[in-house]
Amino acid sequence: MPDADRDTVVDRLDECPDTAHGVQVDIKGCEIKKEIKLPGVNFESKPLQFVAPSETAIYFLKNK
């Protein structure tokens, strides 16, 4: 099966057919971004929980 950009996702399923060589891709063949920015979302890591205003920001982003 052809994989023109050699990202391990066959061309007929590849939603991002021109990914650069060597980048990590998801199951759709699109580059996985190392950083995701969610304005207004903060959490504490031990234990993992959202800081109070973050729940409102997540609700807004989800329903945008």
- Residues with Cβ < 8 Å from 27, sequence gap 6 or more? 9
Mean pLDDT of 40-63: 65
Q: Which of 22, 20, 28, 51 is nearest to 38 (CA)?
A: 51
Q: Is the pLDDT of residue 16 over 80?
A: yes
- β-strands 48-50, 43-45: how paired? antiparallel
pTM of the entire structure? 0.51
Predicted confidence (pLDDT) per residue in 25-42, tens digit: 999 999 988 777 778 777
Question: How far apart are alpha carbons 20 and 3 in whole angstroms?
Answer: 13
Beta bridge mates, 45: 48
